[in-house]
Amino acid sequence: MPSGFLRHIQRCNSHDMAGFRPFRVENHLVGWIRPAFRDRLLAFPDVFQPEGEGVSLSPALDQPDQRTEAVGSVLEHLVADGVIPRLRREMYGVQTAWGAAPLLAMDRAAIPFFGVTAYGVHVNGFVRRADGIHLWVGKRAMDRGVAPGQYDNLVAGGQPLGLSLQENLLKEAREEADLPPDLALQARPVGAITYVMEQKKGLKPDVLFIYDLELPADFIPRNTDGEVERFELWPLEKVAAGIAQTNDWKFNVNLVVIDFLIRHGWLGPDHPEYLDLCRGLRR
């Protein structure tokens, strides 16, 4: 098995745009779809229409709520036909940019089929000890649909429509690690990681907002929503070895942890991959 840190960034940025066509709303390019999926969408001409090699929403759908309802109806048909998996009943915004007003809301399960940018929050929970920094690591439950049994951050979750980043952080912190609000609010924003990854479902252009949270030595996280089997506190040496030498971590968590190792000085400029890592975390 190949080793090293950079391979994880390369994996998360592996894609061939020749296999995708543009998806537009109000003349805004908001996503990318596969040609076969385009054909399925065009079977609903009241909602989707051809635009060059791509597809756009009908201009008759000129209000966000109207678009949301129309696209949602199509998604129900596509689920029934087995084209996309069951819906998650969690809505993401389809936006031209972070902070822009959503053009419509779309169920989380459909987002990669449309190649729409999704946002999320990841929290590095760490403890300072006499022998150095230790990182809390979650072992994902085996029944998870994504990365079952792999290692994860202390707290991580997608960014749903209708919540601020802070509100979402508080929600995920309580559900995933039983962090009380006063402690979770001490999490410090330290940047964002971006990548564009091709998957079987489609294209996954993601933005992860990263937070560092220094925790008291006596705090023990406890999962409350069933996503995590257990938590372990690892020294950075063990964390780094796990990332560099195994594929035991959830694909995008590798990137978050590499960023942590760089920012906290464990992974420095003398490492041969250093510059490529710094560049690759933000595409």
Q: Can you tell me the distance from the alpha carbon of 250 to that of 228, in angstroms, rounded to the nearest whole number?
A: 12
Q: Can you tell me the distance from the alpha carbon of 210 to that of 107, in angstroms, rounded to the nearest whole number?
A: 24
Strand 91-94 relative to strand 104-107, pairing: antiparallel
Quote the pTM value: 0.96
Distance, CA of 31 to chain centre: 16
Q: Which of 150, 155, 170, 151 shows the shortest CA–CA distance to 123?
A: 155
Q: Which two tokens stand for residue 201?
A: 């479902």
Q: Can you tell me the distance from the alpha carbon of 124 to that of 152, in angstroms, rounded to the nearest whole number?
A: 10
pLDDT one-digit tens code per residue, 206-245 = 999 999 999 999 999 999 988 899 999 999 999 999 999 9
The band of 15, judged by pLDDT with boundaries at 50, 70 and 90, is very high
- Mean pLDDT calculated for residue range 200-207: 97
Q: What mean pLDDT is reported for the chain? A: 96
